């Protein structure tokens, strides 16, 4: 008897749950929706790409460069 080993290893560690993705917004001023890409989650407004680690998006706000 042999059972096939079910392993979802490396299926899509960079893929984010679509339900979660729809809730995510970029921390930039536009708070744009993020788009799933091969490299991670991309903002269509500021072109930032946020990495995804084991299905968890790593979204860190960026310090405002121009503070007057
Ligand atoms: Zn953005």
pLDDT tens-digit map of 20-48: 999 999 999 999 999 999 999 999 999 99
Position 64 in a domain = no
Position 65 in a domain = no
> With pLDDT > 90 as the criterion, what percentage of the chain qualifies?
62
pTM of the model: 0.70
**Number of folded domains that form the chain:** 1
Question: What backbone phi and psi angles, to 5 degrees, belong to 19?
Answer: -65, -40
Separation of CA 11 and ligand 1 centre (Å):
27
Position 36 in a domain = yes
CB under 8 A, 24+ apart: contacts of 15-23: 15/52, 15/55, 16/41, 16/52, 16/55, 16/56, 16/57, 17/55, 20/57, 21/57
- Range of 28's domain? 18-52
Separation of CA 30 and ligand 1 centre (Å):
6
Position 34 in a domain = yes
**52: Cβ–Cβ under 8 A, 6 or more apart, which residues?**
13, 14, 15, 16, 40, 41, 58
Separation of CA 16 and ligand 1 centre (Å):
17
Position 23 in a domain = yes
Position 25 in a domain = yes
Position 7 in a domain = no
Instruction: Give the mean pLDDT of 6-14.
Output: 61
Position 12 in a domain = no
């Amino acid at each position: 008897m042999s059972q096939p080993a079910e392993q979802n290893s490396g299926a899509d560690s960079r893929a984010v749950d679509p339900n979660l993705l729809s809730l995510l917004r970029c921390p930039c001023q536009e708070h744009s929706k993020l788009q799933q890409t091969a490299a991670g989650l991309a903002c269509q407004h500021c072109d930032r790409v946020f990495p995804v680690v084991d299905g968890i998006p790593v979204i860190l706000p960026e310090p405002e460069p121009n503070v007057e």
